[in-house]
Structure 1
Amino acid sequence: MKRWVSLGAALLASGAMLAAPPGPKQKPVPPLNARVAWPQAQRAVLPATLADGAAYEPAVFLDATRSIGTAPAPDHRTLRLVLRAADGSVRALRALPSSQNPSFQSPTVDGRQVVWAESSQNREQLWTINLDDRRPARLLTADTGDARFYESQYDLVIAEGRVHWVAAGPDDTTEVRSIAVGGGRVGVHTESGSWSLSAWPWLVDGVTAAGGTTRLRNMSTGQERAVPVTARGVTACSPVWCRVVSFDRKGYPQIELMRPDGTERRKIAGNTAATVVTDTAVLDRFELFSQLTDNSDLSGRFQLLAYDMARHTTVEISPDATDVRYRAGVLQWSTGSQDEFVRHALDLRTV
C-alpha cells in the first residue's frame, strides 16, 4: 500500500509543478572581463601610426609592447619591415621599392632569430635576421617552390635548426620544404595529398577541403591519427585539440572543442559565434571567437571572447573589436572608428 501512496504523491507533485506558472527567464551570466579574470596578464594599447606618421601594421609581437610589422616610408617610395620597440622607436629590418608591389609575409620568431617570406615582382624569397646584432638581414633562399601560406602561425616553423614550410607539389602532393637557419640547400620531402604545418613535427590535412581536418601525421615518427568526421561541420585541428564549427538544430552556428580522437567533446559557444583566427586552441588553452552585438551591423565591430580551457570559463577580451590577429602567443585587435583607431595587444603567455 505504501508503494502506491508514494507513486500517487509523486504524480500529484509533478502535476503541481506542471500547473505552476513559469518563473522569470534567467538571463545568461555575462562573461568575466579579461582584466578581472587575468589581472597579471601583460597588455598594451598602441597607436596605429609610427612617430613619422606612417601607418603601421604589426605582423608578430615579441611581447605585448614590442612588435615586427610593416609601414611605408614617409615618401611612400618603399615598404619597410621594422622592429617597433616599447618606447615607439623603430629599427628598419628591410625595405623594398613600392613600385615592385612588395609584401612581407608570415614572420616567425625563435628566440632572437626572425624569418619571413617576402615577395616582389612575383618573386618569393625567405629572409632572416638576428635581432641581437646589428648585421643586416640576409637572404636564406629563393628556392621556395610554390609556397603556401594560410595565415597561420605555423606557415613558417623554425625547429631543429631548420626553417620549414609547405609548397604545392605536382599531382595532388605537398612538398614539405626546409633549409638550415644558417643557409644551404633546400631539402624537399613529398607527401601525398594536401597538408599544412602545425606544431612541430605535425602535419594536418584538409586545409582546403570543405570538411577540414581528417588526419594528422607526425613527420618524425610517421605516426598518423585519424580525426572523426563531423557531418555538416568543419573541423580544424592541432595535435592537442580540434575545433568543430557547425550548425545546431535551430540553425545557429556553434563551436565545439574535442581531442583529435573525438573524446572530451564540449560546446563552448553558440548563437552568433564565429571563429576569428586560423589556429585552433592557441597555446593549447584558449579558443578565440566572436559574438555579434546589437551594434555590429552598424559598427562592423564584435565582441571578442576566449574560452579558457584551464578554467572552463569564457572571458570577454573586448566588447567592440575588429581586425583580430594572433601569432606566437600574443593576441592583437583594434578598436575605434575606421578613420581613427588604436591597436591592443594581450600576451596570452602571461595569463
Structure 2
Amino acid sequence: MKKARPLIALAVALAAGGWLLAAVESAPDTPPSATPAAATASPPAPAVFSARLPDGAEYTPLFYAAAAVSVGAAPTPDGSADRLILRDRGGDRELRRVPRDRFAQFLGFTATDGVLYWAESAANPDGTYETRVWRVPLDGSAAPASLTADTGAVVFFDSEYDLVVADGRLHWVAAPPDDGARTELRSVALTGGRVTTASFEGRFRHTAWPWLLSVDDQAPLVLANPQTGEQRIITRAAAESVVCTPAWCRSMVQPGDRHIYDVMRPDGTARRRVPGALTAVTIDNALAGRYEIFTEAQGATVHLVAYDIDAGAIRRLGTDIGVITARAGVVWWADRPANPTAWKSVDLR
C-alpha cells in the first residue's frame, strides 16, 4: 500500500509532539481542587534482560506482554535482515525475519488472552509499502499467522490503543482515501478474513474501548463512542494540552521552560496537581487505569517515577535512566540511550 509508511511516521511525530511540545502562555485559570502530598514507595523489583542476544546482536524491546515477556527488534549478525524476537525466561524465539532492504517497521503491539498481535510495514519490490497485521501465541504453540494486508491508510500514534482487541475482532484506525476530515474504523476477525470498514466523521484515534479521542488540534477535544453515538467535549483551559481516556485526563501546561501536570476527570472535576519537575513519558494517560509515568530531573540525575492517581502518591521506579518507554501497564528502561547494557521492566498491573 503506497504511502502507508509515511503516514505511520507522520502520525507518531504528531502524537509525540502535539501535546508534549505544545507552546502555551500561562497556567489554567482554574487552580487544582486538590493536591495530595507526594509519597515515595519502594519500587517493585524489575525484571532484567541483557541488551544483547546470545549471537551478539543488539536487542531493542518494543513491547512487554508482562515484566519478563518482551518482543523487540534485532538485526541478524551479518546485518542482512531485521528480526522480531520474543524473549522470556525460557529463552529467545524468532517470530519474523525481513530483509534489511525492505525497511521493516514493527508497530502497534498488543497482547490479549495469551496471544500477541502486531503490525508490520515493509517495502515491496515495486517501491510501494504494505502494512500487514499478525498474531502469534505467546507460548509458542503455533507459528505467526498473517491476519490481513487490507489495512487501508493505517495510522499509528505510538499508543497502546493503536491495535485494539475487542468483541472478537482486531481494530485499528486509518485515514480516508481522500482529504476529508473523517476516520476509517477498520477491523478483522482474530482468525483473519474479510476486513470491515466504517467511516466516522472527524479525526480520531482509539482510547479505552469503545471510545475514540479526537486528534484535531483546531477543534475541541472530544471523546466519542461510535457504538452509541455519545460525544463528550473535554473541559480544558486554552493553555492546556490534554490527553484522555473516558475515566481520566492528563493536562500539561508549559510556563517558561518547565512543565506542570494535572490529572482530572474528563468533565474537569477531581483536578489535582502532580508534584515534581516532571516530563511525561508516553502519549497515553492513566496506564492500567491509574498510573501516570514521568521522568523527574534532580540535578544531573534522571529518575523514573509513577504517579498513582488512586493513592495520590509518587512511586520511584528507577534512577539514572537513559531511555524509557511505557505501554499498557508495563514500564521499561535502559541505563543509557546508546549501547545499553541491560533493559529493566516493571509491570504495574
TM-score normalized by structure 1? 0.82
The equivalent position to 1:225 in structure 2, one of 223, 232, 235, is 232
Instruction: Output the amino acid matched with 2:246.
Output: P
Instruction: Output the amino acid matched with 2:320.
Output: D
Q: Specify the alignment match of 1:38 in structure 2.
A: none
- Separation in structure 1 between the aligned mates of residue 303 and residue 250 of structure 2, nearest angstrom: 19
Instruction: Output the amino acid matched with 2:85.
Output: V
The equivalent position to 1:274 in structure 2, one of 267, 279, 284, is 279
Instruction: Single out whichever of 156-165 and 132-141 deviates more from structure 2.
Output: 132-141
Q: Specify the alignment match of 1:188 in structure 2.
A: 197
- Separation in structure 2 between the aligned mates of residue 319 and residue 43 of structure 1, nearest angstrom: 12
Shift of 1:34: 3.4
Q: Specify the alignment match of 1:323 in structure 2.
A: 323
Q: Which runs of 5+ in 2 are unaligned?
A: 1-36, 124-128
Higher relative contact order (CA 8 A, sep 6+): 2
The equivalent position to 1:90 in structure 2, one of 56, 72, 92, is 92
Shift of 1:305: 1.3
Post-superposition Cα deviations, 1:80-111, rounded to whole Å, max 9, x if no partner, equal: 11111214x21111111112111111211111
Instruction: Output the amino acid matched with 1:346.
Output: V
The share of aligned pairs that are identical, in percent, is 35
Runs of 4+ in 1 over 6 A off after TM superposition: none
Once the two structures are superposed, the pairs formed by residues 97-246 of structure 1 within 5 Å of their partners are: 97-121=99-123, 122-169=129-176, 170=178, 171-206=180-215, 208-209=216-217, 214-246=221-253
Q: Which runs of 5+ in 1 are unaligned?
A: 1-28, 36-40, 297-301
Q: Is the 8 A contact 1:42 1:347 kept in 2?
A: no
Residues matched between the structures, number: 306
Structure 1's 32 and 63: CA in aligned 2 closer, same or farther, altered over 3 A? same
- Separation in structure 2 between the aligned mates of residue 324 and residue 278 of structure 1, nearest angstrom: 13
The equivalent position to 2:289 in structure 1, one of 284, 297, 307, is 284
Q: Specify the alignment match of 2:265 in structure 1.
A: 259
Instruction: Single out whichever of 131-140 and 113-122 deviates more from structure 2.
Output: 131-140
SS in 1 for 2:101: helix
RMSD: 2.1
Shift of 1:132: 4.1
- 2:308 matched to 1:303? no
Shift of 1:115: 1.3
Instruction: Output the amino acid matched with 1:218.
Output: N
- Separation in structure 1 between the aligned mates of residue 344 and residue 218 of structure 2, nearest angstrom: 33
SS in 1 for 2:175: strand
Instruction: Output the amino acid matched with 2:298.
Output: T
Q: Is the 8 A contact 1:57 1:71 kept in 2?
A: yes
- Separation in structure 2 between the aligned mates of residue 282 and residue 127 of structure 1, nearest angstrom: 24
Structure 1's 95 and 176: CA in aligned 2 closer, same or farther, altered over 3 A? same
TM-score normalized by structure 2? 0.82
The equivalent position to 2:48 in structure 1, one of 45, 49, 55, is 45
- Separation in structure 1 between the aligned mates of residue 218 and residue 59 of structure 2, nearest angstrom: 35
Q: Specify the alignment match of 1:58 in structure 2.
A: 61
SS in 2 for 1:99: helix
Q: Which structure is larger by alpha-carbon Rg, 1 or 2?
A: 1
Instruction: Output the amino acid matched with 1:177.
Output: R
Q: Is the 8 A contact 1:336 1:342 kept in 2?
A: no
- Separation in structure 2 between the aligned mates of residue 70 and residue 337 of structure 1, nearest angstrom: 16
Structure 1's 337 and 194: CA in aligned 2 closer, same or farther, altered over 3 A? closer
Structure 1's 33 and 337: CA in aligned 2 closer, same or farther, altered over 3 A? farther
Shift of 1:64: 1.3
Post-superposition Cα deviations, 1:213-263, rounded to whole Å, max 9, x if no partner, equal: 711112222221111132111010011100110135x77420000001110
Structure 1's 189 and 217: CA in aligned 2 closer, same or farther, altered over 3 A? same
- Separation in structure 2 between the aligned mates of residue 115 and residue 251 of structure 1, nearest angstrom: 39
Structure 1's 252 and 323: CA in aligned 2 closer, same or farther, altered over 3 A? closer
- Separation in structure 1 between the aligned mates of residue 278 and residue 152 of structure 2, nearest angstrom: 37
Q: Specify the alignment match of 2:42 in structure 1.
A: 34
Instruction: Output the amino acid matched with 1:34.
Output: S
- Separation in structure 1 between the aligned mates of residue 294 and residue 275 of structure 2, nearest angstrom: 8
Instruction: Single out whichever of 235-244 and 319-328 deviates more from structure 2.
Output: 319-328
Shift of 1:198: 0.7
Q: Is the 8 A contact 1:303 1:316 kept in 2?
A: yes
